[in-house]
Amino acid sequence: MQNEASSSAPLPAASLVIASADDADASEPAVSFPAPPVAALFSDDPAYRNFVACLDYLKAEEVERIEAALEYARRAHLDQTRLSGEPYITHPLAVASVVAGWRMDADAICAALLHDVLEDAGIAKAELAKRFNPAIAELVDGLSKLDKIEFSSYREAQAENFRKMMLAMARDLRVVLIKLADRRHNLHTMSAIRADKRQRIARETLEIYAPIANRLGLHKMFRDLQDTSFHLLHPLRARVLARAMAAFQGDNKELIGRIQNSIRQKIAEAGIHGARVFGREKSLYSLYSKMAHKHRRFAHIQDIYGFRVILPDIPACYLALGALHTLYKPVPGKVKDYIALPKANGYQSLHTTLIGPTGAPLEVQIRTEEMHHVAREGIAAHWLYKDTERGGADLHIRTHKWLHSLLEMQSGDSSEFFENVKIDLFPDEVYVFTPKGHIINLPQGATPVDLAYAIHTDVGNRCIAACINHESAPLRAELKNGDLVEIITAVHAHPNPAWLSYVKTGRARSRIRHFLRTVHNEESAALGERLLNQELIHRGVLPEKVPAAAWEHVIKAGGNHSAREVFIDIGLGKRLAEVVASRLLADDTVAAAPHAGTLIIRGAEGMAIQLAKCCQPIPGDPIVGSIKKGQGLIIHTHDCLVIRKSRSHEPSKWIDVEWEPDPGRLFDVRIGLEIEKTRGTLAQVAAAISQSGSNIENVTMEGDAEKRHSHLNFILQVGSRVHLAQVMKNLRRIPQVVRIHRATAHGE
């Protein structure tokens, strides 16, 4: 795109190697295009000649449509140049060359040529649909940014544009393939862009676009995006590392050749014919990441070079693995079977690490030709090799499942969606088994909660415990390869907000947040209805007697869609019950209206009514409530130091509340004890608390070895102020207890 690219000559089409299922609506009428004078305009351009050469798999009428799109794009960008001074058309032509090299359909190639005309040339989507067809217009729209919408920050705009692209991609995979080709060319042509913007785009590529390429199995694209971004972010480090790699290859050329010959000979001795053996070096960025992660110098990285063995079929792969283990000793625990258990992006290979002739570890990958195609081209193998290969088709199915799972994660705002997808783009997988023998792959560090949501949303929402390898385990336990995991559920269970601190998958995070938002809204609606009804009764009107016309007026005036939304706004503190009641009754004296009566609470209403953590009120304490915007009703004790200033300056924001006579639950409360340092005192204190019918939630100890006394801080669970008094009375009977007091988060 014009504001993201600059530069030099376009990428030669020969070096660009993608095709998509034709998702165009077959029912749309065909558009006839007059043959444009494109060939004459571009005849001397080698990039154009290479592009045309890539179209040999298409029909003549499809090539005509593509040339019409090229001419349309040329005219749309006629007065535009890149920051390097080149005509702007060189960029869409280079992007379309990548797409044509992938053997995508004509609509995709047209969309690649036209991908910037909505954004940079002011062409309307309807115009594209009329001039070409609706399928092309949809693809181009999916690739265009939301430039017409005002965002509060660059990050918000980035998140919303990313959401738009990913949802368009879920509908049509060609969107992201064209976008990756666009990003690759922009990265290769950024010399004229200012340094800060160049680094921002490179960092965004490393965080988002390279992982997407990897998730789609586009390994060549993945490595190219990573290494090019690395050169842009850290040019000096990249140059130094590249020189070190070149020197390593020169110094070890003979050794590498000798190892290759040994592998080739050993495989032949095992009776395997048609093997291809070649060396492979780590990409610069992966090498740099390893050095940074392990804090090692280049000289201390041992697996810089590896080997790849390509064989005719799967049985030969396993036979070759055994042969190589007799040639060099394998490193225990370093054999990975991605043939039986493919990665989420479709990658399949056998990996083994051997101790080479110099004593350094040596990684070998063993795969079939089909697996090699899929490993290099990923989702593109579905089209490039669709006549002879199954791997690409299988990956295509898995990819569509992943894309549609994105639709389940869009219930929150754009930033939340952005973070959830980023989590899913870094999946170092672990494979776990369900009790029925199903294999489920999850990201490294995943927990039983992640597994529960991977099975089904209802299983996740209702899980209460887990058994790992037939033993009870906490829900935050990290799963390991090969674990047999059973999820235990209960009908009335529901997600715990604490799960968000340790789940690893975007799906689990999204489903938990969705549930909590829904529950919060339900509780807020119930609280808002109680507050409004109380206010109406205080004014002498029964809630059911309010006319429907009055409700309709209030709903429309507030921009709501229903009375429930009005209740939610009141419960969340976005609207005042007094104001809503006045508007329902067409009463203009809201400012003079006396405050409604006392609200009765029991402290177990959920997230809509929260007990303040600063003073931890319990039944029996005089209390007061405040509607806090977005959080609901917050309950404090009357003498809470935190609210003293606010109550005197803004008395109208506070609501009189009282405890229900029998709340029927336990409440957390803090107490502090000063005790003498004698053996068995802590045990006596714990016994006294237990005998008083209270639970100990937490205990900490403070003290100096040279002092006679220690200070204990307890968080206890009690039913009321009377219950707390009984607990403290029993503790005072212990001779070693010097002092006891109820504490708050801000002191006594």
Sorting pLDDT into bands at 50, 70 and 90, what band is 409? low
Residues 292-304, mean pLDDT to the nearest whole number: 74
Cα(143)–Cα(173) distance, integer angstroms: 12
Q: List Cβ neighbours of 628 (8 Å cut-off, separation of 6 or more).
A: 573, 634
Q: Which helix (H) or strand (E) holds 523?
A: helix 506-538
Q: Bigger pLDDT: 447 or 344?
A: 447
What are the tens digits of pLDDT across the range 642-658? 787 777 666 666 777 88
Q: How far is CA 423 from the centre of its chain?
A: 4
Nearest residue to 571 (alpha-carbon basis) of 511, 510, 530? 530
SS (H, E, C) 88-118: CCHHHHHHHHHHHHCCCCHHHHHHHHCCCHH
End-of-domain residue from the set 635, 659, 683? 659
Q: Which of 261-265, 332-336, 664-668 has the lowest mean pLDDT?
A: 664-668
Closest by CA position to 534, among listed 664, 659, 655 = 655
Spell out the long-range contacts of 722-728 with Cβ–Cβ below 8 A and sequence spacing 24 or more.
722/620, 723/692, 723/693, 723/694, 724/618, 724/620, 724/669, 724/671, 726/692, 727/671, 727/688, 727/689, 727/692, 727/694, 728/671
Statement: residue 389 has pLDDT above 50: no
Kindly state whether residues 648 and 709 are assigned to the same domain. Answer: no
Domain boundary among 146, 165, 186: 146
Residue 69's identity, in one-letter code, is A
Beta-bridge partner residues of 658: 600
In the DSSP assignment, the letter for residue 87 is B
Say which residue the tokens 């154009």 belong to.
48
In the predicted structure, residue 29 carries a pLDDT above the cut 50: no
Selecting among 119, 141, 450, 569, the annotated active-site residue is 119
Q: Are residues 610 and 712 in the same domain?
A: no
Q: 318-354 pLDDT, tens per residue? A: 999 999 999 999 988 888 898 888 877 678 899 999 9
Specify if 720 maps to a domain.
Answer: yes
CATH of the domain at 11: 1.10.3210.10
| Same domain flag for 620 and 706 | no
* Residue 544 sits in the same domain as residue 592: yes
Let me know whether 542 and 650 are in one domain: yes
- Provide the token pair at 745: 């988060």
- C-alpha 128/C-alpha 369 separation (Å) is 41
Residue 523 shares a structural domain with residue 618: yes
Q: For 571-629, write each residue's pLDDT tens digit.
A: 766 677 777 887 788 754 444 344 455 677 765 555 567 788 888 888 888 888 877 76
Which CATH number characterizes residue 714's domain? 3.30.70.260
In this structure, are 672 and 636 located in the same domain? no
Structure confidence by residue, pLDDT tens digits, 183-222: 999 898 887 788 888 888 898 888 888 888 887 778 888 8
Give pLDDT, residue 350: 93
Whether pTM exceeds 0.85:
no
In a domain, 553, yes or no: yes
Please report whether residue 410 resides in a domain.
no
DSSP-derived 3-state class of residue 711? strand
pLDDT of 414 above 70: no
Specify the pLDDT at position 642.
Answer: 79
Give residue-wise pLDDT tens across range 122-146: 788 888 888 898 989 988 887 776 4
Same-domain pairing of 653 and 671: no
Full residue range of the structural domain in which residue 101 is found: 2-146
Q: Is residue 673 part of a domain?
A: yes
pLDDT of residue 590: 40
Catalytic member of 71, 86, 107, 120: 120
| Same-domain check for residues 38 and 140 | yes
What's the pLDDT band for 402 if we cut at 50, 70, 90?
Answer: low
Could you tell me if residue 407 is inside a domain?
no
Q: How does residue 518 score in pLDDT terms, banded at 50, 70 and 90?
A: confident
- 652 and 532 in one domain? yes
Answer whether residue 475 is part of any domain: no
Same domain, 677 and 575: no
Would you state the pLDDT for residue 297? 79
Which pLDDT score is estimated for 18?
A: 29
Does residue 673 share a domain with residue 645? no
Instruction: Please report the pLDDT score of residue 112 as a whole number.
Output: 92
Active site residue 119: yes
Number of domains forming the structure of the chain? 3
Last residue of a domain, one of 89, 123, 146: 146
Whether residue 30 is contained in a domain is answered as: yes
18 within a domain of the structure (yes/no): yes
Percent of the chain past pLDDT 90, that is, above it, reads 12
